[in-house]
Amino acid sequence: MSTMRAVDIKGGKGGIDALHITDMPKPQVDHAKALVKVKAFGLNRMDLLQREGMYPVPPQAPKTLGVEFSGVIEELAGESEKGFKRGDAVFGLAYGGAYAEYISVSTHMLVHKPDELSWEQCAGIPETWITATQAMFLVGEFAAGKSILWHAGASAVSIAGIQLSRANGASAVYATARQDQKCDFCVNELGATAAYNTETTDWSAKVLEATGGKGVDVIVDYIGPATFAGNLNAAARDARIVNLASLSGRELKPEMAQPNFGAFVAKRLRFEGSSLRSRDEQYQGRLRDQLVDHALPKFKDGSFKVLVEKVFPWEQIQDAHRLMESNQTKGKIICTIS
């Protein structure tokens, strides 16, 4: 059996020090899969949770971390999409396994790499931009003329979401962050209408003030309990609140703002949780097609920015995780394999 190098976790789960590169069996391809030699992979917050044994990994996922990557096709199974061939430069989304020299992945989740973008930029697109697209359109039911609020505005998904919102005719785009410099970044670099520091302002009151008391039509949230009350306050009538994570914990604590549950009925609100990784291949494939049709041309002409905070050689995977845990980043953290 041929082997490859991949990042593993000592003991199956643990802290940053448990990450190490070791030999593993090289994956095989079947059905519609391709074997891709990985050039770069992107980090996501779910990787931190999975490393600690706190993320519900889909049953079809390999144990190796990583869901987005760029690289070159080395082998194709018999049922692969006809548009791909050996030697093609691609990037894509996977259920797992991207922290490795090789990944076996469905061709339904691959995209041809444009010459205008680097391997590092392409590795930071799939999970981030597809998650933003899913949250906005499929779950949040965004349409031109609606207003939208992106929490954690300097996170990679919200950086994508703010750009998507502006390009698709949002009436206003709001953001939150925990640092003034991140709020300034959302407005000055990404073009958000306004951004509010959740540590120093009553952000939901600011949103209501900015919207003349109406509130926002779509809210995309990763914080959970700490923003729950504020989301109900800042939401417009018939708003959609999309929850993608719960970074402030799993329970509402006494010191957190207490929600007014009457707002659900009074405003006819819908609060919906969503996860991209647990979706089936057909669902993810439709989102891939949407990315290719609507976003890829804008990446090529530079109107959409893929913001990369820092690139590490994959031998420094511990440092990469350490940087992500620091919450100091604006944009993607990428690792390269040479």
Q: What is the pLDDT of residues 284-304, one digit of tens each?
A: 888 999 899 889 999 999 999
User: pLDDT tens, 254-295?
Assistant: 999 999 999 999 999 999 999 888 888 888 888 999 899 889
Token readout for 311 is 């690139």
Pairing of strands 68-76, 33-42: antiparallel
Say how far apart CA 96 and CA 65 lie, in whole Å: 6
Residue 301: per-residue pLDDT: 94
The answer to the question of residue 214 being in a domain is: yes
Domain match, 268 and 148 both? yes
Token readout for 22 is 């070791």
Do 151 and 223 contact (CB within 8 A), yes or no? yes
The whole-model pTM stands at 0.91
- Residues with Cβ within 8 Å of 326's Cβ and at least 6 positions away in sequence, in order, are none
User: pLDDT tens, 59-115?
Assistant: 889 999 999 999 999 999 999 999 999 999 999 999 999 999 999 999 999 999 999
Residue 282: per-residue pLDDT: 86
Which residues form the domain of 160?
140-273
Residue 77: per-residue pLDDT: 96
For residues 22-45, give the mean pLDDT. 97
Residue 155: per-residue pLDDT: 93
Assign 3-state DSSP to the chain and report helix, strand, coil percentages, each to 5.
35, 25, 40
State percent of the chain over pLDDT 90: 91
More confident residue, 286 or 183: 183
Domain match, 159 and 189 both? yes
Q: Is 105 helix (H, G, I), strand (E, B) or coil?
A: strand
- In this structure, the number of other CB atoms found within 10 A of the CB of residue 278 comes to 13
Domain match, 17 and 42 both? yes
Total domains in the chain come to: 2
Q: What are phi and psi of 42, to 5 degrees?
A: -100, 150
Domain match, 145 and 269 both? yes
Residue 47: per-residue pLDDT: 97
260: CATH: 3.40.50.720
- Domain-ending residue, one of 273, 291, 312: 273
More confident residue, 328 or 221: 221
DSSP state of 337: -
**Which residue type is seen at 322?**
R
The answer to the question of residue 132 being in a domain is: no
DSSP string, 179-248: SHHHHHHHHHTT--SEEEETTTS-HHHHHHHHTTT--EEEEEES--HHHHHHHHHHEEEEEEEEE---TT
Q: ∠146-157-315 over CA atoms, to 5°? A: 175
Token readout for 224 is 């959970």
Residue with token string 């391809």: 29
Say how far apart CA 324 and CA 264 lie, in whole Å: 35
User: pLDDT tens, 143-171?
Assistant: 999 999 999 999 999 999 999 999 999 99
Token readout for 117 is 């973008």
Domain match, 199 and 76 both? no
Residue with token string 């609140």: 241
Do 61 and 275 contact (CB within 8 A), yes or no? no
- Domain-ending residue, one of 230, 251, 273: 273
Domain match, 282 and 266 both? no
- Domain-ending residue, one of 224, 248, 273: 273
Domain match, 75 and 189 both? no
Q: Picking from 173-177, 215-219, 290-294, which range would have the lowest pLDDT averaged per residue? A: 290-294
Q: How many CA atoms lie within 13 A of 169 on its CB side?
A: 6
